[in-house]
């Protein structure tokens, strides 16, 4: 079966820094795939290359078999992306942004308007639909970014930290929406630092450390009978027992 997302030897160097070192992953269709790793591990760089936002030095990325760099239009039609630090047109209202992007993605005016209204309501942004995006809070920007990823009805979602800065009620809504998407045959790849959330939502997980895949596969295989947090700490070799605060703090 063709993978929803296939990363094949992806590599990226920034000057002397090797950010991603031949990362290969296969995301089965219909799976909910979590990407975890310490700060600076290479998650954002890998996801950016996976969806065609950053050109890799080595390797390939394929969305349902379509090479992201050989056929960017074909690949992008199949994937919805929530990138890290998404740059949005700030001088549009939330509703204008969604209808504009919907039209850019080939939806007719009526469909773009209807989908924009539905997404604004589901994501509890309807009260702010006439507010300029520049005036949105961090969490609201995350939610409108998620809405832009969903607009064209892709079969794969690639979401970089979708729950960061999102309030608990909105997080529940987004979780339910993503679960429904996967239950309906969609595939999700998301990065997160919240192990409990990854354990609850995801059926597959990859641990990235130092630009490499430390472990990847079905959640239970990677956890190996432990909590994901314990396994994560073990895999990345952190010695949390030895961690001390600065000597001058609260002394």
- Does residue 17 belong to the site contacting ligand ATP (CB under 6 A)? yes
Q: Does 41 bind ligand ATP (CB under 6 A)?
A: yes
7 to 64, 100, 127, 241: CA distances (angstroms)? 11, 31, 40, 35
Point out which span in 14-22, 138-146, 163-171, 195-203 binds ligand ATP (CB under 6 A).
14-22
Q: Considering only CA atoms, which of 90, 64, 55 is closest in space to residue 157?
A: 64
Rounded Cα distance, 43 and 143, in Å: 20
The site that binds ligand ATP (CB under 6 A) totals a number of residues, namely 11
Tell me how far apart the alpha carbons of residues 67 and 243 are, in angstroms, rounded to a whole number: 44
Nearest to ligand ATP of 177, 233 (CB atom) = 233
**Residue in 2, 9, 40, 134 binding ligand ATP, rule: CB under 6 A:** 40
Residue 85 sits in the site that holds ligand ATP (CB under 6 A): no
Region at 102 (left for phi over 0; alpha for psi -120 to 50; beta for the rest): alpha
Mark the segment that binds ligand ATP (CB under 6 A) among 39-47, 93-101, 135-143, 194-202: 39-47
The SS3 of residue 26 is: strand
CB nearer ligand ATP, residue 40 or residue 72: 40
User: Binding residue for ligand ATP (CB under 6 A) from 10, 19, 66, 207?
Assistant: 19
Please report whether residue 138 would count as binding ligand ATP according to CB under 6 A.
Answer: no
44 binds ligand ATP (CB under 6 A): yes
Nearer to ligand ATP, 78 or 142 (CB): 142
Task: Compute the least distance from the CB of residue 87 to ligand ATP, in Å.
Answer: 14
Question: Per CB under 6 A, does 195 bind ligand ATP?
Answer: no
Nearest distance from residue 133's CB to ligand ATP, in Å? 23
What count of Cα atoms within 13 Å lies in the side-chain half-sphere of residue 192? 25
Instruction: List the beta strands (DSSP E) in 84-223.
Output: 156-160, 187-191, 204-209, 212-218
Is residue 244 involved in binding ligand ATP (CB under 6 A)? no
* Nearest-10 crossing angle of helices 94-104, 138-150: 30
Nearer to ligand ATP, 119 or 149 (CB): 149
56 binds ligand ATP (CB under 6 A): no
**What torsion, rounded to 10 degrees, do the Cα atoms 190, 217, 215, 158 define?**
-20
Four-residue CA torsion sign, 220, 222, 225, 230: negative
List interacting residues with ligand ATP (CB under 6 A): 14, 17, 19, 37, 39-45
């Amino acid at each position: 079966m063709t993978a929803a997302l296939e990363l094949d030897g992806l590599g990226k160097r920034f000057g002397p820094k090797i950010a991603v070192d031949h990362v290969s992953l296969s995301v089965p269709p219909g799976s909910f795939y979590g990407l975890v790793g310490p700060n600076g591990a290479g998650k954002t760089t890998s996801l950016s290359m996976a969806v065609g936002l950053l050109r890799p030095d080595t390797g390939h990325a394929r969305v349902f078999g379509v090479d992201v760099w050989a056929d960017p239009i074909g690949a992008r039609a199949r994937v919805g992306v929530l990138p890290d630090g998404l740059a949005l047109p700030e001088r549009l209202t939330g509703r204008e942004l969604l209808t504009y992007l919907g039209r850019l993605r080939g939806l007719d005016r009526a469909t773009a308007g209807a989908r924009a209204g539905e997404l604004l309501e589901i994501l509890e942004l309807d009260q702010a639909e006439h507010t300029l995006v520049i005036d949105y809070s961090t969490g609201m920007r995350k939610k409108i970014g998620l809405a832009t990823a969903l607009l064209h009805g892709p079969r794969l979602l690639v979401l970089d930290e979708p729950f960061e800065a999102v309030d608990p009620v909105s997080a529940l809504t987004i979780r339910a929406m993503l679960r429904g998407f996967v239950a309906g045959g969609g595939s999700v790849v998301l990065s997160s630092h919240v192990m409990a959330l990854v354990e609850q939502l995801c059926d597959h997980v990859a641990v990235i450390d130092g630009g490499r895949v430390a472990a990847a596969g079905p959640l239970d295989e990677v956890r190996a009978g432990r909590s994901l947090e314990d396994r994560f700490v073990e895999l990345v070799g952190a010695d949390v027992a030895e961690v001390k605060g600065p000597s001058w703090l609260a002394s």
